[in-house]
């Protein structure tokens, strides 16, 4: 790739990142489809609706917080799930690794997809807060 092409690509990414924050993305699947434009999570100040990527997931902030005040709100802590929820895809292509459900804000809904620990994609058949291992009748393995 030429230097000019690299600069053009960097410019397009910059513009797309600015526009994604004001785009009318109404559901998790749409947000996941543009997840490559969201920044990775870092320590900082977050507002409701902010979206970040970390740990192979795309997360949405549903309770504002500031890591300067609350430094323990990190992806590797239990406090994380009080402030962030994983987005769930509605197609096998937008499926993300399974995240154990912490509350009604992040339960799997009928028609959503996830990737189980065996690497297979699963479709949720009914609203559930259980994994395929704990409640198999709520899930159907999807073959490509």
Check residue 8 and give its pLDDT: 84
Instruction: Answer whether 1-87 and 89-144 agree in fold.
Output: yes
Per-residue model confidence as pLDDT tens digits over 112-124: 999 999 999 999 9
Q: Find the range with the poorest average confidence among 15-19, 29-33, 94-98, 102-106.
A: 15-19
Domain boundaries, the chain: 1-87, 89-144
Degrees to nearest 5, angle at CA 56 with 32 and 102: 85
Q: How many whole angstroms from its chain centre is CA 88?
A: 6
Check residue 144 and give its pLDDT: 61
Question: CATH number of 89-144: 2.40.50, 1.10.10, 2.10.10, 2.30.30?
Answer: 2.10.10
Report how far residue 68's alpha carbon sits from residue 73's, in angstroms, rounded to the nearest whole number: 10
Per-residue model confidence as pLDDT tens digits over 25-81: 888 999 999 899 899 999 999 999 999 999 999 999 999 999 999 999 999 999 999
Is domain 1-87 annotated with CATH 2.10.10.20? Answer: yes
């Amino acid at each position: 790739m030429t230097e000019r092409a690299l600069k053009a690509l960097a410019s397009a990414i910059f513009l797309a990142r600015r526009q994604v924050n004001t785009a009318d993305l109404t559901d998790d699947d749409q947000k996941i489809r543009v997840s490559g434009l969201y920044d990775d999570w870092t320590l900082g100040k977050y507002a409701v609706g902010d979206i970040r990527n970390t740990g192979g997931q795309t997360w949405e902030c549903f309770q504002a917080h500031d890591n300067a005040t609350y430094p323990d709100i990190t992806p590797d802590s239990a406090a994380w799930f009080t402030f962030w929820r994983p987005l769930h895809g509605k197609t096998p292509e937008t499926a993300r690794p399974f995240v154990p459900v912490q509350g009604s804000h992040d339960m799997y809904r009928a028609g959503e997809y996830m990737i189980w620990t065996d690497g297979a994609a699963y479709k949720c058949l009914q609203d559930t807060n259980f994994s395929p291992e704990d409640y198999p009748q709520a899930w159907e393995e999807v073959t490509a």
